[in-house]
């Protein structure tokens, strides 16, 4: 089957969307950009291919039960696959760590260090299924984040029990993680899918999926040859992508088109990404008419929240939910990220509650975006909000409030897949490039 791929190389995450010749999205993939766009692009693409296999599997299997059971089964299947992938990469990390346990620093401690590493990964393997269970809360979905935070936690206990300095284990981890991260799990795809399938069948017995039928549907899905007809890259890392200039589109155009494809009545798009905020006006065909971006300063972008999360020693995903607990909003400077950090400390010292301060920070980010929107020509109905920050409920709440105050009743679209908007537009450009 011919397929069209859009890759959006953002400053924080890299996204890929795989589209079929009819324009239907078959799979999506996301990974952290890890200062290595070539790997990030490869991983995101592989993830989109995995998503595509799952879509093809569901198509091949057919709806063998009520929709909610099918959804639960597919969700379980995906989570199980992620777990398989995680275990494979964790094993790679274990072996790599042990490979570094040598030299003067480890003199006479090689065996103890290796044993400790093995123990850390044994425990990590034990707790992994729970981390990947449907509905489990994770600070991040990326291997580096999950493995890193668990390694710190478990490693400290294990080192203590073994009478080893934790710094030894940390040293092994630090030496290994970048290498492992840039070597994404790619081995034995079929085996991982089949093992995940077995888990999912066992986890959702109510569906009564026949293992043999499901297994051959899986084999069928894996056998479909996915022929990359055209790939379009966008985002900050686009120039580093290993394909020619005609295959590169500006993210402004990709976001405009992507938002139009998700919500065809879209006229104004707001995208808040890692390091830029874009306000885009599009015509009824999704063609960009005007745009504005943040200038010379990334205050008001996703990184603003990332910085605040670091300052507060919280996960980025945790900020929004905490801000939703606020009973009031503390006024925070919106023009400088670093100053906002200082203000945050100042407010904490004055006894303000963390949730109220966070609510103020979310408001600050959206105020900044409102200014950029107004410079691009204001908000027209319908209004589509995309980018990583669109997943943050507290940011969305402030946005709704400010849109209502400034522009009255406007339909606001926030797509659950909004983080893929740019990649979707890029995939559509890829498809059009061939069609034209």
Partner 1 sequence: MSDPRTPDVVKEPSMLKQKAMIADNYERLTSAPEAGRKVASTYVPGNLNELIMCFDLLNNLPEINAINNGMRRKSGGMIMEAEKMGHSEDVCTYVKADIGMMAKGNIAPNGKPLPDPDVLLLSYTGCFTFMKWFELLREQYKCPTIMLHVPYEGDGETTDNMRDYVVKQLREEVIPTLEEVSGVKFDIDRLREYLAESARAEDNHVWVLESAKSKPSPIDAYFGGVYYIGPIFTAFRGTPDATEYYRLLRTEIEERMAAGKGPITPEGEMTEEKYRLVVEGPPNWTSFREFWKMFYEEGAVVVASTYTKVGGVYDFGFRHDPAKPLESLADYCLGCYTNRNLPWRVDMLQHYMDAYEADGLLVNSIKSCNSFSAGQLLMMREIERRTGKPAAFIETDLVDPRYFSQANVKNRLESYFQMIDQKRRGGSAPAAA
Closest contact distance (angstroms) between CB of 273 and partner 1 is 12
Nearest distance in Å: CB 288, partner 1: 5
- Tell which one of 95, 287, 342, 435 touches partner 1 (CB under 8 A): 287
Report the nearest approach of partner 1 to the CB of residue 252 (Å): 4
User: What whole-number distance in Å separates Cα of residue 6 and Cα of residue 26?
Assistant: 12
In the list 12, 149, 219, 250, the residue contacting partner 1 (rule: CB under 8 A) is 250
Residue with tokens 């405009």: 256
253 binds partner 1 (CB under 8 A): yes
Non-local (6+) Cβ contacts of 137 within 8 A are none
Question: Can residue 283 be called a binding residue for partner 1 (CB under 8 A)?
Answer: yes
> Per CB under 8 A, does 336 bind partner 1?
no
In the three-class reduction of DSSP (H, G, I as helix; E, B as strand; rest coil), residue 345 is classed as helix
Q: Which is nearer to partner 1, 5 or 288 (CB)?
A: 288
Site size toward partner 1 (CB under 8 A) is 20
Among 79, 94, 249, 363, indicate the residue that binds partner 1 (CB under 8 A).
Answer: 249
Q: What angle do CA 46, 50, 56 make, to 5 degrees?
A: 140
Tell me: does residue 252 bind partner 1 (CB under 8 A).
yes
**Binding to partner 1 (CB under 8 A): which residues in 289-308?**
289-293, 295-296
Calculate the alpha carbon distances from 113 to 121, 156, 168, 176 in Å: 12, 13, 8, 14
- Stretch binding partner 1 (CB under 8 A), from 44-52, 156-164, 246-254, 344-352: 246-254
Query: Is the torsion defined by CA of 403, 406, 411, 417 positive or negative?
Result: negative
Give the ranges where 163-283 is alpha helix by DSSP (H).
Answer: 166-181, 189-203, 211-223, 251-262
- CB of 271: closest distance to partner 1 in angstroms? 12
Smallest gap from Cβ 44 to partner 1, in A, equals 20
Residues of span 364-393 touching partner 1 by CB under 8 A:
375, 377
Q: How far apart are CA 126 and CA 300, in angstroms?
A: 40
428, 23 contact by CB (below 8 A): yes
| Radius of gyration for the alpha carbons in the chain, expressed in angstroms and rounded | 23
What x-and-dash track marks residues 257-276 binding partner 1 by CB under 8 A?
Answer: -------------------x
The SS3 assignment for 144 reads helix
Would you say 293 or 314 has its CB closer to partner 1? 293
Residue 38 or 287: which CB sits closer to partner 1?
287
Q: Is the peptide bond before 382 cis (omega within 30 degrees of 0)?
A: yes
Summarize as ranges the residues that interact with partner 1 (CB under 8 A).
236, 249-253, 276, 283, 285, 287-293, 295-296, 375, 377
């Amino acid at each position: 089957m011919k397929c069209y791929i859009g890759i959006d190389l953002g400053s924080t995450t890299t996204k890929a969307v795989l589209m079929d010749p009819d324009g239907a999205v078959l799979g999506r993939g996301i990974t952290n950009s890890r200062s290595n766009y070539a790997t990030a692009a490869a991983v995101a693409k592989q993830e989109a291919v995995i998503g595509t296999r799952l879509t093809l599997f569901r198509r091949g299997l057919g709806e063998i039960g009520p929709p909610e059971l099918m959804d639960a089964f597919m969700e379980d299947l995906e989570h199980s696959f992620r777990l398989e992938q995680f275990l494979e990469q964790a094993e790679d990390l274990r072996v790599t760590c042990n490979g570094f346990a040598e030299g003067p620093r480890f003199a006479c401690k090689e065996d103890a260090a290796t044993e400790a590493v093995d123990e850390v990964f044994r425990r990590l393997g034990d707790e992994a299924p729970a981390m990947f269970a449907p509905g489990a809360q994770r600070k991040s979905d990326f291997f580096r984040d999950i493995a890193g935070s668990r390694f710190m936690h478990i490693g400290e206990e294990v080192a203590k029990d073994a009478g080893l300095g934790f710094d030894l284990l940390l040293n092994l981890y630090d030496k290994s993680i970048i290498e492992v991260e840039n070597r994404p799990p790619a081995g034995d795809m079929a085996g991982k899918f089949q093992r995940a399938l077995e888990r999912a069948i066992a986890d959702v017995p109510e569906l009564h999926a026949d293992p043999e039928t499901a297994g051959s549907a899986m084999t069928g899905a894996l056998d479909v040859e996915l022929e990359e007809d055209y790939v379009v890259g966008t985002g900050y890392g686009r120039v580093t992508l290993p394909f020619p200039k005609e295959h590169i589109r500006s993210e402004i155009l990709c976001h405009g088109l992507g938002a139009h494809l998700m919500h065809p009545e879209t006229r104004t798009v707001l995208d808040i990404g890692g390091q830029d905020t874009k306000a885009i006006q599009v015509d009824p065909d999704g063609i960009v008419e005007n745009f504005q971006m943040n200038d010379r300063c990334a205050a008001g972008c996703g990184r603003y929240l990332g910085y605040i999360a670091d300052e507060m020693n919280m996960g980025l995903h945790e900020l929004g939910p905490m801000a939703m607990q606020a009973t009031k909003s503390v006024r925070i400077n919106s023009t400088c990220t670093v100053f906002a950090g200082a203000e945050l400390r100042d407010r904490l010292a004055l006894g303000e509650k963390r949730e109220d301060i966070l609510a103020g920070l979310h408001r600050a980010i959206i105020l900044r975006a409102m200014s950029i929107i107004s410079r691009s020509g204001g908000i027209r109905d319908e209004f589509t909000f995309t980018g990583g920050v669109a997943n943050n409920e507290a940011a969305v709440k402030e946005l709704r409030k400010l849109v209502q105050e400034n522009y009255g009743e406007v339909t606001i679209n926030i797509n659950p897949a909004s983080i893929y908007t740019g990649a979707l537009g890029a995939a559509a450009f890829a498809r059009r490039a061939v069609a034209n």
